[in-house]
Copies of this chain bind each other. A is one copy, B any other.
Amino acid sequence: MRIGRLNHIGIATPDIEATRDTYAALYGADAATPVKDFPKLGVKVCFVSIENTELELLQPLGPDSPVNKFLEKNPKGGQHHMCFEVDDIIAARDAMRERGATVLGTGVPYIGAHGVPVIFVHPKDTHGVLVELMAKPEH
């Protein structure tokens, strides 16, 4: 198992609209999707297009949001995870376990904000960086 392209950088923020507007106004990165609520994932999400990848902006939705803890530690927001595409999400999940890493949750891939199955690898396995693996979406 070998990771493919960086699909996106996940960025947590306490104010997703303000952050999206900042990337447009300050950096000219003005191609962004509307903000969408994902109640099951506990986040509001929008995507900012970059020439070769995307930024996934995340704002917590609800008290059980997986992003709440990160924002408690980083109240202004910050880089939350990196997401790489893989050819086969089940094979990737199995490879993570065989190689000694901890897959978060039940380990059953679930549908993420991109509409394809994902898993997350515990940051302790990647020297403090939370890594998402995503089945390759159709581009």
Contact = CB atoms under 8 A, between A and B. Distances in A.
Interface stretch (A32-40, A48-56, A61-69, A111-119): A48-56
Nearest to A12: B128
A129 interface: yes
A26 B129 contact: no
A53 B129 contact: no
Interface in A5-62: 5-6, 9, 11, 13-15, 18-19, 22-23, 25-29, 50-53
Contact of A27 (B3, B80, B128): B3
A2, A80, A127: residue with the most chain B Cβ atoms closer than 10 Å = A127
A120 to B, nearest CB: 13
Given A2-B29, A28-B3, A51-B4, A129 B99 contact: no
A127 B28 contact: no
Number of copies of this chain that the complex holds: 2
A42 B126 CA distance: 23
Interface string A102-135: 0000000000000000000101111111010000
B3 A128 contact: no
A133 to B, nearest CB: 9
Interface of A: 1-6, 9, 11, 13-15, 18-19, 22-23, 25-29, 50-53, 74-80, 82, 84, 96, 99-101, 121, 123-129, 131
